[in-house]
Structure 1
Amino acid sequence: MGTDSKPKESSGKGKGKQAASGADDGASKGKGKGGKSSDAKGKINEAYKKLQDGWLSNGDKVPPAEFAKIAAEYSECPSGKKGSDLGWFPRGKMAGPFQDVAFSTPIGATSAPFKSTHGYHIILCKGRKN
């Protein structure tokens, strides 16, 4: 959920484990017109509000299990059924904005909602390995 301000790694070879939830706005798949994008934006903002109300407004980090519950409830991505855990991936595997946010979100932190070519996302960065 897609959740961000994680420090960039100095090496271009780093890998990050990201759990992310996205609400697909349909634009990248050519589905729907008009209202679908605003529905997806409203849905991602609602999910983020739940995260804020539960943890982020208190300065707390969202527990991965709680992030997964919200992802399962709100995500329209196939990964949503498994709590939107995308596993480990290297730089260069994910598209532009998604990769930028994933590798700039601090470990343990949750990103703000953002849009990529695949929809809206919030990222919870679980860790990185070299």
Structure 2
Amino acid sequence: MGKDPKSSGGKGKGKQAAGGSDDGASKGKGKSGKADGLGTCAAAPMHILCEKQGKINEAYKKLEDGWLSNGDKVPPAEFAKIASGYSECPSGKKGGDLGWFPRGKMAGPFQEVAFNTPVGVTSAPFKSTHGYHIILSEGRKN
């Protein structure tokens, strides 16, 4: 619902370093503060939020064992199952779906990872002021 239909399924790089990509496809920011070539106005990530680093690492291990270690992209439905079981955010009840939000609505590292993770790719765990996160980028639009 409201998601980019091109974001589900398929093979490809699944492991994503927070804030950048393994293959160099992510560009730096220009003077406008917008990421080049990745879309800039709104993002639709799914996420897992945990207070403790050990718990987010456990969730990430499940993603690695199921898909990322094989170079696969995590299917949104499977990410949602893991989010429902691990996320401490109220969005966990919705499989971690945050819906669409504009650039500038989320703070610091979360926004950076949400807008710099290529669509369909899962981020590595990262820390924000709210705890530890993993993001699956489902869509981006201008």
TM-score (norm 2): 0.75
2:59 maps to a residue whose letter is A
Aligned residue for 1:124?
136
Asked which structure has the greater RCO (Cα within 8 Å, sep 6+), the reply is: 1
Structure with greater proportional helix content: 1
Aligned mates of 1:113, 1:10 — CA distance in 2: 23
What residue number does 2:61 align with?
A: 49
Identity of aligned residues (%): 72
2:36 corresponds to which of 4, 7, 10: 10
Q: Name the SS of the counterpart of 1:21 in structure 2.
A: strand
Which residues in structure 2 correspond to 1:48-127 (within 5 Å)? Answer: 48-127=60-139
Q: Distance in 1 between matches of 2:135 and 2:114?
A: 7
Q: What is the Cα deviation at residue 69 of structure 1?
A: 0.1
Alignment correspondent of 1:31: none
How has the CA–CA distance of structure 1 residues 57 and 13 changed in structure 2, closer, same or farther, with 3 Å as cutoff?
closer
Give the 4+ runs in structure 1 shifted more than 6 A.
none
In the alignment, structure 2 segments of 5+ residues that lack a partner are 1-15, 28-34
In structure 1, stretches of 5+ residues that fail to align are: 26-39
Q: Which amino acid aligns with 2:107?
A: A
Matched residue of 1:127: which SS? strand
CA distance in 1, matches of 2:45, 2:89: 14
C-alpha displacement at 1:21, in angstroms? 1.2
RMSD, aligned α-carbons: 1.7
Q: Give 3-state SS (helix, strand or coil) of 2:57's partner.
A: helix
Paired residue type of 1:59: G
Cα distance in 2 for partners of 1:99, 1:76 equals 19
Aligned residues between the structures: 113
Q: Partner letter of residue 128 of structure 2?
A: S
Shift, 1:13, TM fit: 4.8
Quick one: distance in 2 between partners of 1:47 and 1:10? Answer: 30
Asked whether 1:19 is paired with 2:31, we answer no
